[in-house]
């Protein structure tokens, strides 16, 4: 029966699909995996990263909404850090987290945009303007959507009246340092420099995330969701601007 069904399926596919479907499929896959071109490897990589980031964010959001194991883990970690906080680490983390607030990240992003403008890099300038402010606006909308209260303690280190999920500071750090890493990785010929910048970006994002959890401003799931959110938004912005640049370059060559 299985052979008969398989034979019928093959006959149906032969009648349905055009005779040159396999070469067309191979050409399509080759175009998606080629570094050059308007819709080449950069688009494929961007879409893969976007799908992965959205999937991770959705899993975390569902776990938090259903009060799953991660939600109980959140409370345990938050209480532990609040109980074991000590100086001078608290002061250091307070300064570190304030440096990556709205004012600090706005100044840093403006300086980065100015640097791209002076270097006459319009596409990277456009990506900067879209990625960081746009990602922060997305973060605010997500906070209002999920409306998760912040951790509560008898003796809090930091008191805030806004929502907790996902972390705004962590999102801003992921957007900013992730953007810098993307720029260096795609423009620098030195693999040592690319590796150093990627490590630096990862460390800075991790420190910001740790400072928010340590100070009791966020749960662990808040900062993880913020990283996923920002990674997805970066994928959208950089892929879109890269596609625009490649398309305009292709038209000029025609």
Q: What are the pLDDT digits (tens) for 89-98? A: 999 999 888 8
In a domain, 152, yes or no: yes
d(CA 127, CA 234): 9
**pLDDT on residue 81:** 92
Report, as an integer, the average pLDDT of 163-179.
Answer: 92
Cβ atoms of 81 and 220 within 8 Å: the answer is no
In a domain, 48, yes or no: yes
In a domain, 164, yes or no: yes
Is 0.85 topped by the overall pTM? no
Report the domain count for the chain: 1
In a domain, 34, yes or no: no
d(CA 46, CA 52): 10
In a domain, 4, yes or no: no
d(CA 45, CA 214): 34
Provide the domain limits for residue 112.
40-253
In a domain, 25, yes or no: no
In a domain, 114, yes or no: yes
Enter the DSSP assignment of 45.
Answer: H
The mean pLDDT of the chain is 81
In a domain, 19, yes or no: no
d(CA 187, CA 99): 28
The CA–CA distances, whole Å, from 252 to 121, 245, 247 equal 17, 11, 9
């Amino acid at each position: 029966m299985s052979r008969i069904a398989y034979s019928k399926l093959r006959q149906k596919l032969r009648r349905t699909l055009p005779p040159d479907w396999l070469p067309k499929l191979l050409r399509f896959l080759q175009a998606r995996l080629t570094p050059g071109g308007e819709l080449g490897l950069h688009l494929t990589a961007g879409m893969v990263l976007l799908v992965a980031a959205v999937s991770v964010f959705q899993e975390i959001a569902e776990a938090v909404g259903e009060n799953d194991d991660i939600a109980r883990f959140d409370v345990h970690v938050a209480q532990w850090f609040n109980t074991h906080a000590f100086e001078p680490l608290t002061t250091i983390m307070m300064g570190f987290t304030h440096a990556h607030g709205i004012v600090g990240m706005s100044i840093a992003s403006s300086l980065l945009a100015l640097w791209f403008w002076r270097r006459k890099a319009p596409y990277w300038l456009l990506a900067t303007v879209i990625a960081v402010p746009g990602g922060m606006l997305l973060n605010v909308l997500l906070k209002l959507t999920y409306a998760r209260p912040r951790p509560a303690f008898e003796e809090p280190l930091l008191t805030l009246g806004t929502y907790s999920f996902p972390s705004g500071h962590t999102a801003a750090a992921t957007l900013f340092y992730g953007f810098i890493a993307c720029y260096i990785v795609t423009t620098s010929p030195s693999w040592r420099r690319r590796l150093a910048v990627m490590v630096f970006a990862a460390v800075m994002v991790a420190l910001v995330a740790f400072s928010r959890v340590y100070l009791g401003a966020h749960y662990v799931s808040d900062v993880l969701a913020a990283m996923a959110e920002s990674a997805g938004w970066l994928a959208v912005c950089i892929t879109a601007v890269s596609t625009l640049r490649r398309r305009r370059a292709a038209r000029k060559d025609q």
